[in-house]
Copies of this chain bind each other. A is one copy, B any other.
Amino acid sequence: MTRVNFWNEFRLEKSLPGVRNVYPEGLHAPVVAHLRAQGFEVGAASLDEPEHGLSEAVLANTDVLLWWGHAAHGEVQDVIVDRVQQRVLAGMGLIVLHSGHFSKIFRRLMGTTCDLKWREIGEKERLWVVAPGHPITAGIDNYFEIPHEEMYGEFFDIPQPDETVFVSWFAGGEVFRSGVCYNRGKGRVFYFRPGHETLPTYYQPEVLRVIANAVVWAAPRPSATYRFGHFPQPIEKIG
């Protein structure tokens, strides 16, 4: 059974009534509940726990890590970022949500600024499927809408994705590559744009479905072994 862990910064729910009202138990809560209902084993971790809740032991038992952060990216310790990066490269799946685009771990794995345009007026977002054969799109009917969301607009400073799955249309006039896949080492990374903290996005069935699909896609699977380092003997006789 795939073991999922949702890392939520979990600060804004405590400091801002406008967030707490929407997500009284944390914005991870509806996602965790949905994934459990789908049969996944799901834990949660957050910034203010020791080691941000991401001890070696926790990560060793995590197949897919979800990441939501916004106000305190800078407080995430580099040693934990190193640890998560190593686990991803060794095969753990990583799903980065919304404002996690600016997290240390996402910028670390991308190598770019991950910067973008944004606007917070609760406009309509429509996510179009541009890779309808991709398993992350299972059950989606060519597009789905989120009635009110924060806008993220291009240029989104990321490496060219290995696969682009969703492109968003915003009522205010922008577009955004809102679902993008990367292979990094043996791990799979999915960035999924929706999820502003004052809006009920993580209760919406299509959003939950995409996240659950992404968990399945990102989970480690049997694959090849590899070698690094010094191999002084040639395989072939030279000469």
Q: Is A153 in contact with chain B by the CB < 8 A criterion?
A: yes
Chain B residues with Cβ below 8 Å from A132 are: 155, 186, 223-226
- Chain A 142-155 interface mask (CB, 8 Å, partner B; 1/0): 10000000010111
A236 to B143, CA, bound (A): 14
Is the interface on chain A under 10, 10 to 19, 20 to 34, or 35 or more residues?
Answer: 35 or more
Residue A123 CB within 8 A of the other chain? yes
Chain B residues with CB under 8 A of A51: none
Q: How far is the CA of A159 from the CA of B184 in the complex (A)?
A: 6
| CB of A29 closer than 8 Å to a CB of B | no
**Which of B141, B172, B182 is A159 in contact with, Cβ under 8 Å?**
B182
Would you give the shortest CB distance from A70 to chain B, in whole angstroms?
Answer: 14
Q: Is the CB of A155 within 8 A of B129?
A: yes
Given A111-B110, A223-B135, A226-B132, answer yes or no on A171-B231 (Cβ-Cβ < 8 Å).
Answer: no
The 9 closest A-B pairs by CB, nearest first: A172-B234, A173-B235, A133-B186, A137-B224, A138-B222, A155-B226, A173-B236, A132-B224, A129-B224
